Amino acid sequence: MPHKIGFVVVSSSGHEDGFSARELMIHAPTISGWRSPRFCQFPQEIVLQMVERCRIRKLQLLAHQYMIPSRVEFYISESLPDYFTPYQAERFRRLGYVSLCENEMTGCKARELKSVYVDAVGQFLKLIFHENHVNKYNVYNQVALVAVNIIGDPADLSDESNIASREKLIDHYLGHNTEDPALEGACTRKSDYISPLDDLAFDMYQDPEVAQIIRKLDERKREAVQKERYDYAKKLKQAIADLQKVGERLGRFEVEKRCAVEKEDYDLAKEKKQQMERYRGQAYSRLQLHGLLDAELMQRPCGLPLEPLVHPGNPHHQPPALSPPPQDPAGIENWVAEPILQDQLSSRSPDTSQQPTSDRPLPATHPHLRTHLQSLPYDERPLPAVHRQPEAAAVEPENGAMDVSEAPRGATAGEAEPLTEKALREAGSALDALGEALVAGAYSKTWSYREDALLALYKRLVEMPVGTPKEDLKNALRASVFLIRRAIRDLVIPVFQASLKLLKMVITQYIPKHKLSKLETSHCVETTVPVLLTRTGDSSARLRVVASNFIQEMALFKDIKSLQMIPSYLVQPLKANAPTHLAMSQMDLLARLLKDLGTKDTGFTVDNVMKFSVGALEHRVHEVRDAAVGIILGMYQQHQALILDYLPPDGSSTRRNILYKTIFEGFAKIDGRPTEAEIRAQKKAATEEAEKQKKEEIKALQGQLAALKEMQVEGQEKESEAMKAKDPDAQGRKAAPPSAPGSPDTHCLDNLCIFCGERSESFTEEGLDLHYWKHCPMLTRCDHCRQVVEIASLTEHLLTECDRKDGFGKCYRCSEAILKEELPRHIKTRDCNPAKPEKLANRCPLCHENFTPGEEAWKAHLMGPTSCTMNLRRTHVLHKPAALPPGKGPATTKSGTSGPKVGSKIPTPKGGLSRSSGRTYTKR
């Protein structure tokens, strides 16, 4: 049968200080394993030598949580090369490789246990580690291995095992066999069976000393089954199950003690050490009490807790001889005390003295007396277990995880112990209805008797006939509920589960079958649910889950659902000193039942749920507060406005509390409204967009202003040439001294708008910029590209120059620019005013009217008293102060070819107002 193979580390390519590859030879909860050097070269190698040549059946690797190699290769060899070097692999045969996950799903907090089934023969195993997975924790690019396990068979015994199997087959047919083949499979003695005790997970989570005891008890259990001593095998099976829980807990204590030492918290380390000693002594004393612990089992493992070179299942295995009595005085005292312990046990359990002599284990003492007695000072030596009081030895453990407090089922023969006076007074009504034998079993100190009593009661209630008088039915029901309530408090999980099974049968079968009233159902709920709720706060996670699931299932029973009783228990306010597990279980149950039942005629109302949840927001544990937030958000999805009445108003002061901020933002998401963070982000984006657009407009305006200045200079030059041509004395005046700075001849174009002819002292460079942008009645802004263009050339701008010119088309009737998606409808309706030829009339793109042709007609149409009604800038012209009469001020001048203009003596240049000049201005 494959078993664990011991090995030693022959060589490794390197290691970090304190993390040698020799750490892999030890399997224990506190082992750190091997680590490669920092920033090492890959691949890294480790060579292992097994204690003998064997056939490997299974390899196990326990990877580090974040120093994870991407791939591990396996090589095997019969022997090492003559000149062995870490990278020489001529004699090694490649078996394959395994890939390890990056561990991102767990946040690099869990370790991966990889198991590989192989079939290879050899004595040397080489592991090659490739480059590591990159993560934020592995800053030095290292790879690590916490543990490695090899399971196989000795390769040299294959022939002998075949001979043994042939002889066994012959003996079977001759009737001389001592082992039943039918039991061989039950004993897990198949040729390819691998015991769970040889698995790497067993050693890495078990206390090494307890692990050795479990393995020896498992060997005795197999021998007991082969000898058909089933009662003894049953005791050993239960003891193994209980010891596994003890070993796991001791392993956790050891890890906590090691962490405390690393943090130099020596008070905590001492406390953990004492706690381990007490718990270990309590467990061993229970095993001694029931005759399951002897001197052979109490031998502590060596420095390396490895399996012996020859496995117990090996035909060559010989049981170790008992060590002689110790020679020191303390050891003599212990050996003298052992017969006294046996006498006390035999006097307390007369049935055990009738067992065969082979069933009696060897005497033993307290484990600490055998292991630590010589190393401890005299004052600190623990007392032998023989001096413990019988009552103290029979006390149940504090935690349900340690079930070795009582004898397993079948450990002792006979009935349960008689009831005490207190129990007789307490269970008087139950005695009358159910009988003394059943109640005594329910009150027994042996958990198997308590479980058997509940199962017997279950059978009695199921078989109770329908015609039984109602009074007897009610009495039996109330007595059963009394025992159920007591069993729910039991620390032993099988007894607790039996009580739940009995309670479910009573509610779903017994009461409906005999048509008992709802009063009896209410009695069951009132008696059991409060106790069940307290069990949801138990330290055992398994028990918490079982209790919570049963309460949820119980609340959905048809007869209990109509009573609406369980919801009233769940909305009771949390106590300030309530345990964390209890508060979390109550919150979880409330959330689950709200989904299952709702708030309509179920016992849950908006009022009681919200009052409970708002009160839970003040709990000291953040997990409870987070659960309360989840319940409030779930209630808001169903009732919305009603929920706001139980919360403070939404404001900046309220949102300073992170819980209320989370709640109100959750409300916003449920309603589809943006949250406060989203609103801030939107405002910031809008502000940035506005600033960007403003800068673009200023840039475009500056370009337009430059074009206007260029046009103004051109207009001044043309005006000067025209005046020179009309005045023959202009040449004679060239030699005259320049006029005064304030003369209108020199600064005739200063502070002047060349489009509308308006002059103002405010028309500086920036003032003209503003005038063109907002007030000039001859100009307008394109709604699509935001450029300033002449109204006379707006249609041509939309068709040829605008950024969105591709979206416009020209109507053949009115000759105006129309959006292409509206152009078919525009043409079809024929509502537009037909345009006349350009020589006959001008066409206004604002009011869509035809008027007199010519450049001056545009000024009259856009700026006159009866100007275009669609020109929004004409109000600026109408409210402008009246112009001075001709010749009364500096604004008068001689008539030009274009006539006088309002507020200006300079006539409008012919070329300055043309459409071509406007287009040039727009382009620039």
Residue of 75, 195, 64 lying closest to 141 (CA atoms)? 64
- Residue that the structure tokens 């007396």 belong to: 369
pLDDT at 728: 54
Beta carbons of 442 and 479 less than 8 angstroms apart: no
Residue of 162, 172, 106 lying closest to 133 (CA atoms)? 106
Position with higher pLDDT, 453 vs 412: 453
pLDDT tier, 775 (very low <50, low <70, confident <90, very high otherwise): confident
Beta carbons of 556 and 598 less than 8 angstroms apart: no
Distance of CA 334 to CAs 288, 340, 390, Å?
14, 10, 19
Residue of 13, 22, 302 lying closest to 148 (CA atoms)? 22
Distance of CA 302 to CAs 206, 207, 306, 371, Å?
16, 13, 8, 12
Q: How wide is the angle at C-alpha 688 spanned by C-alphas 683 and 693, nearest 5°?
A: 125
pLDDT at 191: 64
Poorest-confidence range of 131-140, 207-216, 675-684?
A: 675-684
Inform me whether the pLDDT recorded for 560 exceeds 50. Answer: yes
Q: Within 10 Å of residue 578's Cβ, how many Cβ atoms?
A: 17
Burial level of 298, CB count in 10 A (0-12/13-18/19+)? buried
Q: Please state, in angstroms and rounded to a whole number, the distance separating the CA atoms of residues 578 and 417.
A: 37
pLDDT digits (tens, 9 = 90+) for 329-379: 333 333 333 333 333 333 333 333 333 333 333 333 344 434 444 444 433
Tell me what the mean pLDDT of segment 566-595 comes to. Answer: 89
pLDDT at 828: 82
pLDDT tier, 81 (very low <50, low <70, confident <90, very high otherwise): low
pLDDT at 73: 94
DSSP assignment of 779-812? EEE-TTT--EEEGGGHHHHHHHTSTTGGGEEE-T
Inform me whether the pLDDT recorded for 119 exceeds 50. Answer: yes
pLDDT tier, 321 (very low <50, low <70, confident <90, very high otherwise): very low
264 token code pair: 């130099």
Partners of 132 in the β-ladder:
69
Poorest-confidence range of 75-84, 587-596, 780-789?
A: 75-84
135-139, 329-333, 736-740: which has the highest mean pLDDT? 135-139
Q: Please state, in angstroms and rounded to a whole number, the distance separating the CA atoms of residues 806 and 205.
A: 76
pLDDT digits (tens, 9 = 90+) for 822-875: 888 888 887 788 888 887 888 898 888 888 888 888 888 888 877 788 888 876
Q: Please state, in angstroms and rounded to a whole number, the distance separating the CA atoms of residues 206 and 875.
A: 95
Inform me whether the pLDDT recorded for 900 exceeds 50. Answer: no
Helix axes 541-555, 580-597, angle to 10 degrees: 30
Q: Please state, in angstroms and rounded to a whole number, the distance separating the CA atoms of residues 445 and 462.
A: 26
Distance of CA 546 to CAs 248, 550, 594, Å?
21, 6, 19
Beta carbons of 821 and 828 less than 8 angstroms apart: no
Q: Within 10 Å of residue 379's Cβ, how many Cβ atoms?
A: 5
Phi-psi label, residue 229: left if phi above 0, alpha if psi -120 to 50, beta otherwise: beta
pLDDT at 784: 87
Partners of 54 in the β-ladder:
122, 154
pLDDT digits (tens, 9 = 90+) for 170-197: 555 444 444 444 444 444 445 677 888 8
760 token code pair: 């103002």
CA dihedral of residues 438, 444, 450, 456 (deg, nearest 10): -10
Q: Please state, in angstroms and rounded to a whole number, the distance separating the CA atoms of residues 859 and 877.
A: 11
Rg (CA), the chain: 49
Q: Within 10 Å of residue 420's Cβ, how many Cβ atoms?
A: 10
Phi, psi of 7 (to 5 degrees): -150, 165
Inform me whether the pLDDT recorded for 158 exceeds 80. Answer: no
Question: Tell me, what amino acid is at 624?
Answer: V
pLDDT at 530: 93
Beta carbons of 153 and 57 less than 8 angstroms apart: yes
Q: Within 10 Å of residue 905's Cβ, how many Cβ atoms?
A: 20
Distance of CA 780 to CAs 389, 771, 801, 824, 922, Å?
108, 11, 15, 27, 11
pLDDT at 157: 54
pLDDT digits (tens, 9 = 90+) for 641-680: 888 888 888 888 888 888 888 888 888 888 888 877 778 8
Q: Please state, in angstroms and rounded to a whole number, the distance separating the CA atoms of residues 210 and 115.
A: 24
Q: Please state, in angstroms and rounded to a whole number, the distance separating the CA atoms of residues 106 and 65.
A: 9
Q: Please state, in angstroms and rounded to a whole number, the distance separating the CA atoms of residues 92 and 11.
A: 15
Phi, psi of 104 (to 5 degrees): -75, -30
600 token code pair: 């309509």
pLDDT digits (tens, 9 = 90+) for 218-229: 888 888 899 888
Partners of 11 in the β-ladder:
47
pLDDT at 749: 62
DSSP assignment of 457-475? HHHHHHT--TTS-HHHHHH
Poorest-confidence range of 138-142, 698-702, 720-724, 769-773?
A: 720-724
Tell me what the mean pLDDT of segment 687-695 comes to. Answer: 86
Q: What percent of the chain has pLDDT over 70?
A: 73
278 token code pair: 């007490």
pLDDT tier, 751 (very low <50, low <70, confident <90, very high otherwise): confident
Helix axes 447-462, 493-505, angle to 10 degrees: 10
Q: Please state, in angstroms and rounded to a whole number, the distance separating the CA atoms of residues 196 and 903.
A: 109
pLDDT digits (tens, 9 = 90+) for 255-311: 888 888 988 888 888 988 988 888 888 888 877 655 666 545 555 444 434 333 334
Burial level of 327, CB count in 10 A (0-12/13-18/19+)? exposed
- The string over 516-532, giving b where at least 16 C-beta atoms fall within 10 Å of a residue's C-beta and e elsewhere, is beeebbebbbebbbebb
pLDDT at 833: 85
